[in-house]
Amino acid sequence: MKIIYLKKQLSNNNGDTLIELLLYITLLSIMLVVVTIILFNLSIFQNTITTTANANDTVRIAMKEITQNIEYGYQVMLPNSGNVTSSELTVQTDSSGDTISFYSQNGVIYSQINNETPLALSSSNVYTFNLQFIEEANTGISPTVFVTLTETNVGTTGIKTSITYETASTQRR
């Protein structure tokens, strides 16, 4: 008797109602929208981190090149010495008079040895501006040069980053 009753109940089950089906579809849609928003925001966050890291690496390499040349140069020559800001720095590399100059043009940092073709130290993807050299202290023996620059970068999704870098370097003679 129990078996017949169970068969009747199973055969009377006609499936889900339309309201239940709509409820399932609505809940599934809400979950898909939430997951899509989370994935989109993660993508933007990853692009911001990648953009910033690439810009930091580019500028860090340029700043290292500049500070090493100041530290190991024979003579540091700023166009305007005496705690005056300059946008170009020239370092005499040895006693023979060879020089290397650093400057920024159209958002790219360049180094130029003597009068040879300039070499880009920063990439064209990273726009650098406000490159400044300030001779902070010059005792006549070892000048200290304060280097500052600002870079901006726009990632693939249009996210803009802007960072200012500062360092000081003392000539080691």
Does residue 33 register a pLDDT over 90?
yes
CA dist 41 to 50, 80, 87, 119, Å? 14, 48, 39, 38
- pLDDT band of residue 155 (cuts 50, 70, 90) is low
Q: Where are the beta strands (DSSP E) in 28-159?
A: 75-77, 85-86, 88-92, 99-105, 108-113, 119-120, 126-137, 144-154
The SS3 assignment for 140 reads coil
Per-residue pLDDT tens for 81-100? 555 567 888 888 888 888 99
- pLDDT band of residue 25 (cuts 50, 70, 90) is very high
pLDDT of 80: 57
pLDDT of 22: 92
**1, part of any domain:** no
**3, part of any domain:** no
**133, part of any domain:** yes
**63, part of any domain:** yes
**64, part of any domain:** yes
**By residue range, what is the domain housing residue 38?**
11-170
Q: Are 38 and 45 in contact (CB under 8 A)?
A: no
Side chain identity, residue 91: V
Domain count, the chain: 1
**5, part of any domain:** no
pLDDT of 172: 76
Does residue 34 register a pLDDT over 90?
yes
**2, part of any domain:** no
- The gap between the terminal CA atoms of the chain, to the nearest Å, is 106
pLDDT of 1: 53
**4, part of any domain:** no
